[in-house]
């Protein structure tokens, strides 16, 4: 746990172990205008709950002192303790409107989402590997009730104020991703939008109507949007805070362009479906990390197509690409 004061506001970073593959996740206590805010809420485990209360106590607070919760995005390693807090204290919970069906585990939305992936993987030529992934997603639907956030959500959008912070929409890693910005100290609470050690996945997701979002193109735009703000410090959802966001953003976008160039090389070499490209690019990981691998390749293909570098063609239920 680290604690520091910046331009009149106090920030306490708390690191939690989570049961997710990512390992540790950060949440932040932010004391702003004499109100205690919580940015993100770790995972829903007894260990996180105990560690959270210990961290509050170490700073002289308790759950009863919390004035609001600000959620950067709807992923379960960022929202886990919301129900436990809301059961004890009725406080506003801010999130993007598109986070609502995901946080409340809306059954219609989640069924639509599974069908979205079923069709996507079919069209991308994934065959049996895609069907296996969809079977897993379908089986996971029954476990959704345990993940349902029961607190009322206060929906906020670009430029809205949330408890003295300015809301920025930064879709990409998640379609409902927000950053909370303090213009005075040029401080950003960025969730998984920017991470110091690992690049964020821009997961392919449907919008509310089941259309595929251009996640990677959105992600690049969201990173570029942060540059003119010249953040002095970015507090991230995993790992250390970032003091040179501009250099990191340039680096991340450069890496994406390089990967896109490699994918284009595979297409020029004769690979034509997203599944073929993913297998050539990632080898065994295509089988072991199917979801993230396909997400990345489809994201890169959409990104390049939007830039006019490649073309897609839909015939007989399959999408093929040419460069």
Contact 74, 95 (CB under 8 A): yes
Which residues sit at the interface with Zn ion, rule CB under 5 A?
75, 192
DSSP annotation of 200 reads: P
CB of 25 to Zn ion, least distance (A): 9
Contact 72, 192 (CB under 8 A): yes
Residue with smaller CB distance to Zn ion, 75 or 271: 75
Report the residue number whose CB is nearest to Zn ion.
75
Structure tokens that stand for 8 in this block: 């009149």
Burial class (CB in 10 A: 0-12, 13-18, 19+), 298: buried
SS3 248: helix
SS3 80: coil
Question: CA 44 → CA 55, 143, 144, 149, 283, distances in Å?
Answer: 16, 14, 13, 11, 34
- The whole-angstrom separation of Cα 39 and Cα 69 is 6
CB of 152 to Zn ion, least distance (A): 22
Q: Which residues contact 83 (CB under 8 A, 6 or more apart)?
A: 44, 149, 150, 151
Q: Using N-to-C axis directions, what is the helix angle for 274-282 and 290-306, rounded to 10°?
A: 120
- What is the DSSP code string of 131-174? HHHHHHHHHHGGGGGGG---SPEEE--TT-EETTEEEEE--SSS
Residue with smaller CB distance to Zn ion, 125 or 175: 175
- The whole-angstrom separation of Cα 215 and Cα 175 is 7
Structure tokens that stand for 210 in this block: 């089941």
HSE toward the beta carbon, residue 143, CA cutoff 13 A: 6
């Amino acid at each position: 746990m680290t604690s520091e004061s910046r331009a009149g506001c106090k920030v306490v970073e708390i690191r939690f172990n989570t049961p997710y593959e990512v390992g540790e996740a950060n949440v932040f206590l932010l004391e702003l205008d004499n109100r205690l805010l919580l940015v993100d809420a770790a995972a829903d485990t007894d260990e996180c709950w105990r560690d959270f209360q210990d961290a509050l106590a170490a700073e002289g607070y308790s759950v009863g002192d919390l004035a609001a919760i600000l959620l950067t995005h709807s992923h379960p390693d960022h929202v886990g303790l919301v129900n436990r807090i809301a059961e004890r204290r009725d406080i506003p919970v801010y999130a993007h409107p598109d986070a609502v069906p995901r946080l409340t585990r809306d059954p219609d939305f989640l069924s639509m989402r599974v069908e979205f992936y079923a069709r996507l993987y079919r069209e991308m030529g994934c065959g049996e590997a895609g069907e296996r992934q969809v079977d897993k997603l379908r089986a996971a639907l029954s476990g959704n009730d345990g993940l349902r956030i029961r607190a009322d959500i206060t929906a906020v959008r670009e430029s809205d104020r949330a408890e003295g912070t300015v809301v920025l929409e930064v879709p990409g890693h998640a379609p409902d991703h927000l950053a909370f910005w303090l213009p005075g100290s040029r401080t950003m609470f960025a969730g998984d939008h920017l991470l110091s050690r690992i690049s964020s996945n821009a997961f392919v997701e449907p919008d509310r109507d089941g259309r595929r979002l251009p996640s990677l193109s959105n992600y690049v735009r969201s990173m570029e949007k942060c540059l003119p703000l010249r953040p002095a410090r970015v507090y991230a959802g995993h790992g250390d805070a970032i003091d040179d966001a501009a250099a990191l953003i340039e680096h991340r976008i450069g890496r994406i362009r390089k990967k896109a160039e490699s994918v284009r090389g595979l297409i020029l070499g004769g690979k034509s479906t997203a599944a073929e490209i993913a297998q050539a690019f990632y080898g065994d990981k295509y089988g072991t990390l199917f979801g993230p691998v396909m997400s990345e390749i489809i994201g890169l293909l959409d990104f390049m197509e939007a830039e006019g570098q490649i073309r897609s063609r839909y015939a007989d239920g399959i999408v093929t690409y040419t460069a």
